[in-house]
Amino acid sequence: MSTLRLLGCLDGVNAEVLGQAISQLWPSASGQQPQVGLLYVIDTRPRGELERRRERFWRPPHLPLARQEQLRQAERETAQEILQEGARYVRGAELLQREGRAEQEILRCAQEWGATLIVLCARSPRGERGPEQGPASVGHVARFVLDHASCPVLLLRGSWSLASAKEGPA
C-alpha cells in the first residue's frame, strides 16, 4: 500500500488548526504516518487591483521598480514565516511555496507533488467575507478546490477546527 501524501494548505492563520487536525487524524503512535507537504500561495490578485488603479490614473500598470521589489520582499518574507510556523505544528513536513491565484496553485501543486489528499480550511477566518456555517460558508478557494481536485479533499470547518483546537491534541 502506497504512503498517503497529504497536502496541507496554509492561509496565514490556520497553521495550528491544520497541525491539530493532522495529529488527531494520524496520531504518531498509529505507525501510518503520511508524508505531509505544507503549501502557502502568495495571492497575486490584489496586485492586479493595484495595476487597474494605476491605469485609471494614467500610469503604466506596473509599479515603480523600487516599490515593486519592496512589496515582493514583504510577500516572500511573510510566506517563509508562515511556512516555518506551519513546520512547527507539522514536524517533518515538506515546505512548498507558490505564487498566483490560490485555488489554481493548490490544484497545480497537488498534481505536481503527487498529493493523494488535500487538506484545507473551508474559509480563511480573515481572508474572506461570509458566514462560518450554513449556505455560502465555504469560501471560493475551498469551493474551487472541491470542484476541480482530482484527489480526495478534506475540508476543515471553522467551528470543528476551533473546537478541536480548544480541546488540544488527542
Partner 1 sequence: MFLLVPLPALTRTLLTALIALLTLVGIMTRPFRWNEALIALAGAALLLLLGLISPLVALQTLLGDWNVFLFFLGMMALSAFADQAGLFDWLAIVAARLARQRARLLLLNVFLIGSLISMVLSNDATALILTPVVYTLVTRLRLPVIPYLFACTFIADTASFLLPVSNPINILVLSRFQLDLWTFLRLLWIPALAVIAINIGVFCWLYRREVRGSFDLKRLPSPEEAIKVPGYFRYCCLVLAAVAVAYVLASANGFPLSCVALAGALLLLAGALRWHQFRPRELAEHISWSLFGFIAGMFIIVQAVEETGLTRLFGELLLRLSGGSTLGAVLVGTLGAALGTNLINNVPMAVVLTASLQALHGQLAPTTQLAFVAATIFGCDLGPNLTTVGSLATVLWLLILRQRQLDISGLDYFKVGILVTPLMLLVGAVLIWLLL
Q: What angle do CA 144, 84, 164 make, to 5 degrees?
A: 65
Residue 27 has φ and ψ, to the nearest 5°, of -60, 145
Select 23 or 137, whichever has its Cβ closest to partner 1: 137
Select 59 or 91, whichever has its Cβ closest to partner 1: 59
Closest CA to 18 of 83, 110, 81: 83
Per-residue cell: 18: 491544520
Select 48 or 114, whichever has its Cβ closest to partner 1: 48
Q: Does residue 155 contact residue 120 with C-beta atoms inside 8 Å?
A: yes
Q: Among residue numbers 79 through 118, which ones bind partner 1 (CB under 8 A)? A: 81-82, 101, 103
Which helix H or strand E contains 37, and what residues bound it?
Answer: strand 35-43
Task: Give buried/exposed letters for 70-104 (b at 16+ CB in 10 A, else e).
Answer: eeeeebeeebeebbebbbebbeebebbbbeebbbe
Among 28, 126, 135, 166, binds partner 1 (CB under 8 A): 126
Among 24, 32, 74, 152, binds partner 1 (CB under 8 A): 74
Select 1 or 57, whichever has its Cβ closest to partner 1: 57
Per-residue cell: 41: 500561495
Q: Among residue numbers 139 through 158, which ones bind partner 1 (CB under 8 A)? A: 140, 144, 147
Residue at 169: amino acid letter? P
Select 25 or 63, whichever has its Cβ closest to partner 1: 63
Residue 45 makes contact with partner 1 by CB under 8 A: yes
Q: Choose one: 22-30, 72-80, 86-94, 105-113; the region binding partner 1 (CB under 8 A).
A: 72-80
Site residues, partner 1 (CB under 8 A): 12-13, 43, 45-46, 48-50, 52-59, 63-67, 70-71, 74-75, 77-78, 81-82, 101, 103, 124-130, 140, 144, 147
